[in-house]
Chain A
Amino acid sequence: MARIVGIDLGTTNSLVAYMKDGQPCVVPDRKGRTMVPSVVALTDNGLIVGDSAKEHLTRNPERTVYSVKRFMGKGLADVQNELAYFPYNVAETGGVIRIRLGQKSYSPPQISAMILKELKLRAEAYLGESITKAVITVPAYFNDSQRQATKDAGLIAGLEVLRIINEPTAASLAYGLQEKTQGTIAVYDFGGGTFDISILKLKEGIFEVLATNGDTHLGGDDLDRLLVDLFIAEIRDRHGIDVGSYPDYMQTVRLEAEGAKIRLSDDLKTEITIELPEDKGRFTRELTRDQLESLVVGVIERTLAPCRIALKDAGLTPKDIDEVVLVGGSTRIPLVRQRVETLFGKQPHCHLNPDEVVALGAAVQADILSGGTTDMLLLDVTPLSLGIETMGGVMSSLIRRNTTIPASAKEMFTTYVDGQTGVDIHILQGERELVKDNRSLARFRLKVPPLPAGVPRIEVTFLIDANGILSVTATDMRTGQSQSIEVKPSYGLSDTEVERMIEDSFKFAAEDVNARKLIEARLDAEALIKTTEKSLAEAGRLVTHEEADGIRTALSQVAAAKDGMDPRVIRARMADLEQAAKNLNVVMLNDSLKKSLHGKTVSEVT
C-alpha cells in the first residue's frame, strides 16, 4: 500500500507527519521548522502559503487569509458576529462562505486545500515520493458539515482522505504509543480556534472514547480579541484614533496582542508597543500576567463546562481520570493549566509536545490503516446527536451523542395522503429540543410509490461511518428495492461543485510543478550558500580582495533570489555564484592537495 501521511490541519498551524520504523515523525522544512502557519496570501507573484504568507498579514491584510478553519462548513449567518475581526472579505454564495482574494473568490475548503497542498509538497520533497493518501484531523466537536468540508479540502488538494480523525483522539494514540499506559485519560485540547475534551479508556491496545464535548468556536483567537478590544479602546482614549477602521492596523494590533499573551506565559509582565497610523505616534503600555488573567479568565472557564458534561456522559467523576493530557498551543498558559488541575484534581501530563502530538497521532492512525500497526484500534464516538424533524418543529433523536461509530439507525416512513409520492426528510444535528436550535445538515425527498395512505413502508438507514460522516439509504420494504438518496447539504459544497474545484486544481497542477521546482531550487541554493561561505572563511585569504568581494555579492544575490518565488531566477543567481567562486574552489583544492601531495597542482593530478 502506498504511504499514507497524517495531517493536522489546524486553525493556526498545520503539520504533516509519517511513520518511520514504528515511530511517528513530523516532516520539517529545510530550516527544520515543523509547523506551517495556516495562512494563505495573494501576492503579485501569486498565492503563497505558510511562513512567507504570514509576513503578509500586516503588509497585505485584505489579501491574507488566516484562521480559515473557523469558516469550514459554515454559513455567513453563523459567523456574522466575528466578521469585524477579519480584514479579508468574507461573503456568501449558494449557502457557502466565499473569501475574496483579488479577482477570485474561494470557498474555505479551497483555501484549506492550498494549505494541504503545501504540506503535501513538503512531505514529497522530504520523503522523495509522491503522496496521494492522507489521514486528516478535525476537532472532535466538528459536525457533519465541517467534516465534509475538510474531506472536500483534501480532495481539492489531490489527496485521497482515507480517514477524518478527531484531534484529541489522535493525540491519545501518540500518547498511548509513547507512554504504554492503561487506564482512563482525559485529553484537553485548547488551540487557536477550537476547544475539545475527550475521555478515553485505554486497554490492551484499544482506545475507546467514552465521551467527547467541546466548542468549535473557542480558542486562543478569542483571548487575543479581548486584548485587541482593550488596546483599541485605550488607543481611542489616549490618541483619539479609531484603529478599528484601519484593517491593516487591526492586524498589527492583533499580532501584538497575541505576542504579548504568549510572552506572558513565561514572564510576569511585558511591554506593548504599537506604531499608530497617520503619524499619531505610538501606543505603549505595560501588561502584567495578572491583568491578562483577569481579562481572559471568563473565556478560559468556558472550557470547564464541556469537561463536566463529558465526565457526566462518561459516567465518571474527576477522580476516575488517571491522567490529563494537554494538547494545543493555548495549554501553555499557566492559568489554563491551573484550572485544569483544579477541575481534575491532578497535575496534567505535559511531556508531549502540544504542537506536534496531534499530527503524530494522525500518522499512527495512518499506519493502522495501511496495516503497519495492528495492535492498536481507536473506537471513537459521534460528538452530536443526529435526528430528524418531526411534527411541530421538534427534533427526534436517532443516534445519540457519544455513540460509538460506525453507528446506524433505521426509521420507517409511510404516507398520510392517498397517492402521495414523496416524504420530505430534514436531518439535524444537536442536543436541543427544537429544530430551529439545532444544526440543519441536509434535506431530501424520499420517493414513494403512489399508493393508499399508510400502505408504503420505506425504511431509511442513517449510517455514521468511522469518519463521523453521515450517509443515507432507503429501502422499500414491499419490494425490497433500495434507492440511493441524493442528500443536499444545507451548508457546504455540492458534489458537482467539489468536482469542479478538483478540476480547477488540476489546472493549477502546472503551478504545483513550479512550487516543487521552487522548493528544490531553494534547498540547492541553501546548500551552495553554506559551502561557499565555508570556503570563503577557510580560503578567502588565497584570493584577491576584488575576487572575494565579487563572491560575497554573488552570495547575497543568491540569498535574495532564494526568498523570491521564481526557481529560474534562483538557478541563474546560483550559476553566477558558482562562476564567481570557481577560482576560489580551484585554489582551495590546490592548497589542500599541496599539503597532501607535496606541491602537485590540480591539473597535474587530474
Chain B
Amino acid sequence: MDNNQTSTHPDTRRQLQMARSMCWHCQSEVTGEYFCERCVKVQPVSKETDYFTCLGFPRRLTLDPQKLEAKFYELSRTFHPDFYQAKSKAEQTISLSNAAVLNTAYRTLRDPIRRAEYLLALETGSVKDIRTSPPADLFEEILALQDTLEEYRTSDRDSDQGHRLRATLQTEQEALERRKEEMESQLRQLFADWDKLQDAGEATSLARVERDRILKQMRDLLSHRTYINNIVNDLAATIA
C-alpha cells in the first residue's frame, strides 16, 4: 500500500513531489520519496513543490523548530553534494539543485515572519513581495520622526541640540519597538487562528470568510511590521 495515504494529518502530502512521476534515468514510475525504487537514482525536486511539502510539514504557521531542524538535517544527509562525489554527472547536478532548494525551504520556514510571508504568497497566489507601508495611525508621527532624523544627521552630535535630538530619537525608538512587539503578538494570534482553521478542515462559506479575514489582516500586519522594523534599524544605526 502507498504509505503516503496513511499519513496522520489530513493534508500532509507526499513529502517530496517529483518533477516527473517517471524516473529520469530508467523511465520506470517513481513511487519512492526521493529515489527511484528500481534504479536507486536520486530524483529532482519538482518546481511545483512548495517549501512546506519539501520539508514534510503541513501548511501551518506554528512549527516546532526542533522538528524542522531534524528534518532539515535528515534531508541534508540525503541530498548534499558531498555524498554524490562518486555518482554520475546527472546525479551530481540533481543533488546540487535539490540541496539548494532544501536550503531555501529551510531558511524560509525557520523564521516565523518569512514563513508567514511565504504562506501568504502561496495562499493568495501573488508572486510579488509584500509592499511595506506605515500603519495609518502612525503616519504623522513617522513623518515627524523622519524630520528629526534628518536634523540629527546634519547637526553637531556633541552640541546641546545634538544631545536633545538624540534623546528624542531614543524615546521614539523605544516606542516603535514596543509597537513592533505588539504587532508580533497580534501576528502570533493570527497564526494560531490560521492553524486552528486548517486543523478543522471545514469547507463551509463561514470558514472561507474567516480564511480571507486572517490572510488580509496578516498581510497588513506583516507590511506594517516590516516598515517599522526598517525604521527601528535605521534609527539604531544612526544613534549608535
Task: Say whether A and B bind each other.
Answer: yes
Cβ–Cβ contact B85 & A162, under 8 A: yes
> Of B82, B101, B107, which contacts A466 at CB under 8 A?
B82
- Shortest A258–chain B CB gap in Å is 37
Cβ–Cβ contact B73 & A1, under 8 A: no
Contact status of A408 and B86, CB under 8 A, knowing A204-B73, A377-B77, A379-B76: no
Cβ–Cβ contact A403 & B103, under 8 A: yes
Cβ–Cβ contact A378 & B85, under 8 A: no
Which one, A43-51, A363-371, A490-498, A566-574, is touching chain B? Answer: A363-371
> Of B85, B86, B99, which contacts A406 at CB under 8 A?
B99
The answer to whether A304 has its CB under 8 Å from any CB of chain B is: no
Contact status of A1 and B82, CB under 8 A, knowing A403-B107, A406-B100: no
Residue among A374, A403, A405, A466 having the largest count of chain B Cβ atoms under 10 Å: A466
> Of A377, A403, A463, which contacts B82 at CB under 8 A?
A377
CB-CB contacts below 8 Å: B80-120 with A:
80-83, 85-86, 96-97, 99-101, 103-104, 106-107
Chain B 10-34 interface mask (CB, 8 Å, partner A; 1/0): 0000000000000000000000000
Q: Please, which residues of chain B bring their CB within 8 A of the CB of A407?
A: 100, 103-104
- Shortest A85–chain B CB gap in Å is 34
Provide the main secondary structure of the chain B interface: helix
Q: Please, which residues of chain B bring their CB within 8 A of the CB of A368?
A: 82
In chain B, what residue has the closest Cβ to A365?
B82
Q: Please, which residues of chain A bring their CB within 8 A of the CB of B83?
A: 371, 374
Q: Please, which residues of chain B bring their CB within 8 A of the CB of A206?
A: 73, 76-77
- Shortest B121–chain A CB gap in Å is 15
Q: Please, which residues of chain B bring their CB within 8 A of the CB of A377?
A: 76-77, 80, 82
Cβ–Cβ contact B85 & A369, under 8 A: yes
Q: How far is the CA of A61 from the CA of B99 in the complex (A)?
A: 48
Q: Please, which residues of chain A bring their CB within 8 A of the CB of B97?
A: 406, 408, 463
In chain A, what residue has the closest Cβ to B80?
A377
Q: How far is the CA of A77 from the CA of B77 in the complex (A)?
A: 43
- Shortest B18–chain A CB gap in Å is 19
Q: How far is the CA of A487 from the CA of B96 in the complex (A)?
A: 20
> Of A371, A378, A404, A465, which contacts B107 at CB under 8 A?
A404
The answer to whether A203 has its CB under 8 Å from any CB of chain B is: yes
> Of B73, B77, B96, B106, which contacts A465 at CB under 8 A?
B96
Q: Please, which residues of chain A bring their CB within 8 A of the CB of B107?
A: 403-404
Q: Please, which residues of chain B bring their CB within 8 A of the CB of A405?
A: 103
Contact status of A1 and B86, CB under 8 A, knowing A404-B106, A466-B81: yes
Q: Please, which residues of chain B bring their CB within 8 A of the CB of A371?
A: 83, 85-86
Contact status of A465 and B81, CB under 8 A, knowing A405-B103, A408-B100: yes
14 other contacts beyond A370-B86, A404-B106, A406-B100, with CB at 8 A cut-off? A1-B86, A163-B82, A204-B73, A370-B85, A378-B82, A405-B103, A406-B81, A406-B97, A406-B103, A407-B100, A407-B103, A408-B101, A408-B104, A466-B80
A-B contact pairs, 10 of them (CB 8 A): A204-B73, A206-B73, A206-B77, A377-B76, A377-B82, A404-B106, A406-B100, A407-B100, A408-B97, A465-B81
